[in-house]
Amino acid sequence: MPKSGSKINFEEVLDDLTTLLDKDQLDFVRNILTDMHPADISDLMEHISPEARTKIFRLLSPEVASEVLVELGDAPKEDLLDELGADQIAKMVNEMDSDDAAAVVAELSEEKATRVLEGVEAENSEDIQELLHYPEDTAGGIMAKEYLVVRADDTVAEATDELRRQHENVDQVFNCYVVDKENRLVGAVSLKDLLLNPADKLMSEIMDREVISIPSDLDQEKVANIFQKYDLVAAPVVDANHRLIGRITIDDILDVIDEETDEDLAHIAGTGEEEILEESIFKISRARLPWLILSFVGEIVSAFILEHFSSTINQVVVSAFFIPIVMAMGGSSGQQSSIIVVRGLATGEIHLKDTRRRLWREFRSSLLNAIVIAALIFSVVSLWQHTPDFAGVLSGTLIVVILNASLFGAIIPIIFKKINVDPALATGPFVATFNDVFGLLIYFSLLTFSFHYFL
């Protein structure tokens, strides 16, 4: 009977499992898990205690356990791998595709990883060790070693026989790759073309020579952009000599997109990527604290600025009322610009060569917004405080603050990208803190100047 997660009552099953585990009625737990999809089991395991999670995992067969482990988030997966023995992990690794297996082994300590690899089948162990040499955020780090390959001088009949021999190693078959005698990628053949062509036709005659290949050292985010741009479901990975070494499929790309999105959101918020599922308060604190300290330092600098301009505040008391507006307008404008640029750089819709055009567009749109906000604040302050001179100064200040924040928010991610630092780092506390400090500095500098010459 096909397993489906669409009809399960998540809350009800979770309550039942928790109750049964508390009573140590493991046979009933095993019966419930039997009819569940591994992805649903993984989802349930992320909502129970680490102890219950380990207890459930020991009830699963190696095949199901391997699928569940792949679906788990990093934090619960790390806790689980710490609890399981090397023999049990080795059994699961044997059931996994090479890319998933390498990801699991990479999570282990060096000593435990060695013991796991000793318990894995020799061929699988070689593939895993090869994949571990690639950085995890590159094409080589996310590729799998399972793919269908034939020679350019094979006939359709020979290629079909070869595919029959290889099919057990490959779960999802989209097409087969064609290589020359040196294993260099020369083309690809779809299963449709393989079925429709005469048995004596050569692969070199029916293959697509324009196959899109992925360099093994390409960043995974750029790989995802290639898949999106060309609507790919699978792509071959090649080394520096264009030799075929692996394959990336669309499910890998979905994981990459999810991972990159989580990473960007974590940087924007100044938190850890896996904080939602993290159990350790020390790890959560360690991820958040550096950004809080950065904000703290920025606000201390803001306090020094206020102290430096205290005489201006005393002479123009009403200026203190509008400090929150100045800071909020600068912060919001900077965040808007930086988030748009960061997302554009991530998706490839904004390139570094677009810097001048992007900044010019940002300047014009920010100027329009600043004029509208300045007109609003001028009207409010004139009617409320009956001080049109001060209202004019405040309006002019807001225009400068919004323009400064918007341009800074747009250019910092671009600078980060040029120096190979993740641009998402620019959108969080970094931009907010900068805009607080410089917003206040601009506000009170212009106000002091105006007080001496106009007010």
Quick one: 117 and 238 in the same domain? no
Q: Tell me what percent of the residues of the chain surpass a pLDDT of 70.
A: 89
Please say which residue of 111, 142, 173 terminates a domain: 142
Sequence length of the chain is 455
Quick one: 375 and 440 in the same domain? yes
Q: Determine the pLDDT at residue 324.
A: 82
pLDDT tier at 315, thresholds 50, 70, 90: low
* Stretch 172-193: mean pLDDT: 91
Secondary structure element (H or E) that encloses residue 235, with its range: strand 234-238
80-108 tens-digit pLDDT: 888 888 998 999 999 898 999 999 999 89
Please say which residue of 228, 249, 270 terminates a domain: 249
119-173 tens-digit pLDDT: 998 888 999 999 999 998 899 999 999 898 999 999 999 988 888 887 777 777 7
Q: How far apart are CA 192 and CA 178, in angstroms?
A: 15
Judge contact between 134 and 110, C-beta under 8 A.
no
What CATH number did the domain enclosing 118 receive?
1.25.60.10
Q: Determine the pLDDT at residue 208.
A: 93
Residue 207: phi, psi to the nearest 5?
A: -75, 155
* Stretch 374-388: mean pLDDT: 86
Q: Return the CA Rg of the chain.
A: 29
Domain span at residue 180 reads 149-249
pLDDT over 70 (residue 441): yes
Please say which residue of 123, 142, 161 terminates a domain: 142
Q: How far apart are CA 399 and CA 212, in angstroms?
A: 48
Q: Determine the pLDDT at residue 2.
A: 43
pLDDT tier at 4, thresholds 50, 70, 90: very low
Q: Is residue 104 part of a domain?
A: yes
Quick one: 307 and 373 in the same domain? yes
Q: Is residue 23 part of a domain?
A: yes
Quick one: 378 and 240 in the same domain? no
Q: Is residue 173 part of a domain?
A: yes
Burial of 143-157, coded b for 16+ CB within 10 Å and e otherwise, reads bbbbbbbbbbebbbe
Helices (H), 107-150: 110-118, 122-131, 139-142
37-75 tens-digit pLDDT: 888 888 888 888 888 888 888 888 888 989 999 888 877
pLDDT tier at 425, thresholds 50, 70, 90: low
More confident residue, 361 or 278: 361
Q: Say which DSSP state 428 is in.
A: T
Q: Determine the pLDDT at residue 1.
A: 39
- The chain-wide mean pLDDT, for the chain, equals 83
Q: Say which DSSP state 265 is in.
A: H
